[in-house]
Structure 1
Amino acid sequence: MKRLCSLVAETLGIDANAVGPKTGPGNPPKWDSLAHIQLVAVIEETYGVQMSTEEIVNLQCVSDIATLLQEKGASID
C-alpha cells in the first residue's frame, strides 16, 4: 500500500507521511471533489484499471481504493 499512498500524496501535493489507510476526501483538506476525480484518473492510468461511477462515488479512503484495485486484479505494491 506504500506505492498507493505515495501516489495519493503526490497527486494531492502533500507529504507522503500524511497519507494512510484511513486518509480520504476532506482529510486532508486538499482532497476535495476535484482532487478526487484527478486522483481517480491517475490511479486508473497507473494501475491500468477502469472504475465505474458508482465505484468512484463509494471510495471513502485509501483503504477502499486498495481493496477495489485488488478486486480488479491490480497489485497495489
Structure 2
Amino acid sequence: MPPLDRLREVFRASLELPADAAVDDLEYRGIEKWDSLAHMALVAALEQAFDVMIDTEDVLAISSFAAARKVLERQGVDFD
C-alpha cells in the first residue's frame, strides 16, 4: 500500500472513522473523536505502521493530517 494511503488508513482506524471518510484536511480537535486519548493512540499507530519513533516534540506537532505527514517525512517516509 502506498504510504499516503497507509497514512489515511491509520487516521481512519485510530479515529474510528468510516473507510471512505476524507481525512486529508483533519485537524486536532477538529472532530469530536480526535481528543487527547485518540491523539496518543494515533501516534502509537503511526509509529507501528511506519516503523518510526516519534519524539515528544513531534507528538505535539501532529496537529493535523498534513502535520503528521510532515513529521513522517522528516523520519524518512517517502510520500512521493
What's the TM-score, normalizing by structure 2?
0.82
User: How many residues get paired?
Assistant: 77
1:14 is the counterpart of 2:20: no
> What RMSD over aligned residues (CA atoms) do the two structures have, in Å?
1.7
Structure 1 gap ranges (5+)? none
Map of 1:52 onto structure 2? 55
Show structure 1 runs of 4+ deviating over 2 A.
16-22
In structure 1, how many angstroms separate the alpha carbons of the residues matched to 2:14 and 2:76? 22
1:23 is the counterpart of 2:41: no
Identity fraction in percent: 29
Deviations 1:42-65 (A, max 9, x none): 100110111111111111101111
Give the AA of the match of 2:43.
V
Give 1:16 deviation, angstroms.
Answer: 3.7
Map of 1:33 onto structure 2? 36
Return the structure number with greater helix share.
1
Deviations 1:9-61 (A, max 9, x none): 01111124333322021122100000000100010011011111111111110
| Alpha carbons 2:11, 2:23 under 8 Å: kept | no
